[in-house]
Amino acid sequence: VAAPLNAGFLHAPGVFPAVNVWEDGDCLYAEVELPGVDPKEIEIEVVGNVLTLRGEKKHEREEEGRGFHYIERRYGGFNRNIELPASVDSEKVSAAYKNGVLTVTLPKHPESKPKRIAVRNA
């Protein structure tokens, strides 16, 4: 089994939010890391085979007078477009947010589902 292209990395540098996409026979799934983001601030859109995620992670308070050595936590707006490997039924897309992770379930169109072809004796 081949390792994923980005094996060993948390996510590509500068890419936020980090996303995993996988599929089974009926659906595609996108699992999105969005810790600290209010689910009400997340917009999800599917057009064709592109999933778009938009939102904002708001800074909770001012940090005046602090001498930071590192600032790695991200704040502000995000807009991420993810090309999907199959067409989906955008009317049946659902999403759930739990513990900082957004899971988007994208049912495939029937024509995108694998079809088993029976072989008969000639």
Taking only the tens place, the pLDDT of each residue in 58-87 is: 766 556 667 777 666 667 789 999 999 999
Q: What is the mean pLDDT of residues 113-121?
A: 82
CA gap 91, 24 in Å, rounded? 19
* Order of strands, sheet of 50-57, starting from the edge strand that comes earlier in the sequence: 43-47, 50-57, 76-83
- For residue 12, what pLDDT band results from cuts at 50, 70 and 90? very low
User: Who has greater pLDDT, 107 or 112?
Assistant: 107
Rounded CA-CA distance 2/54 in Å is 31
What pLDDT score was predicted for residue 105? 97
75 neighbors 84 (Cβ within 8 angstroms): no
Rounded to an integer, what distance in angstroms lies between the CA atom of residue 38 and that of residue 50? 23
Six-digit token string for 107: 């049912």
**Predicted structure pTM score:** 0.73
